Amino acid sequence: MKIFIDSAEIEEIKAAAQTGLVDGITTNPSLVARSGRNFKELLEEITSYIHGPISAEVTENDANSMFEQGKELAKIHENIVIKVPLNTEGLIATQKFSSEGIKTNVTLCFSANQAWLAAKSGATYISPFVGRLDDISSDGMALISDIRTVYDNYQYETQILVASIRHPEHVLQSILIGADVATIPYKVFMQLIKHPLTTAGLETFMKDWNQASPNQ
């Protein structure tokens, strides 16, 4: 499963990229707004650190305007993936992008039916939001399992990009179900690496080593 970092903060992106484990980046208007950066300048800078897919979301409301805005964003770099909403206009725009060979990430998916329609529209990625479903006492990971079954049944090439990840267990479940990508907040990404027992074990090893080899 590929790892994308869900962030618009350059320092987080740089730190994650240095691990050599990150395959791409997702952004959204909320993350960009919090960063305080010019969107196009931010995307250009991200491409210097991340050499995989970078999702950039359109902010227009109708399909034709989404398409025109997305084409301009796609010119920034060959790795830019155009992020569109999962509504009627977004699906129409997705078909337009697909016909032009422009990759898309269809976002805000909350049902397997929606994911099926996105795949039929030619989406490169589908982004189901598992955390937001959990927030309303639904089962976000069950949706990932359902989408995996639908896509495998009909050999759709659309990749399942698990989004709205809240904790490492979401990541583990995504791996076990067979999702293609998980887009992970930087904090959760670091939680995947760190474990209190690993930290305690290393501290014990170093303490024992220093006691056994005081002159080294």
Active-site pick, 40, 71, 83, 103: 83
Q: What is the 3-state secondary structure (H, E, C) of the chain?
A: CEEEEECCCHHHHHHHHCCCCCCEEECCHHHHHHHCCCHHHHHHHHCCCCCCCEEEECCCCCHHHHHHHHHHHHCCCCCEEEEEECCHHHHHHHHHHHHCCCCEEEEEECCHHHHHHHHHCCCCEEEEEHHHHHHCCCCHHHHHHHHHHHHHHHCCCCEEEEECCCCHHHHHHHHHHCCCEEEECHHHHHHHHCCHHHHHHHHHHHHHHHHHCCCC
The verdict on whether 2 is a catalytic residue reads no
CA angle 167, 172, 178 (to 5 degrees): 130
Side-chain half-sphere CA neighbours of 32 within 13 A: 19
Amino acid present at 147: I
Amino acid present at 79: N
Residues tagged active-site: 83
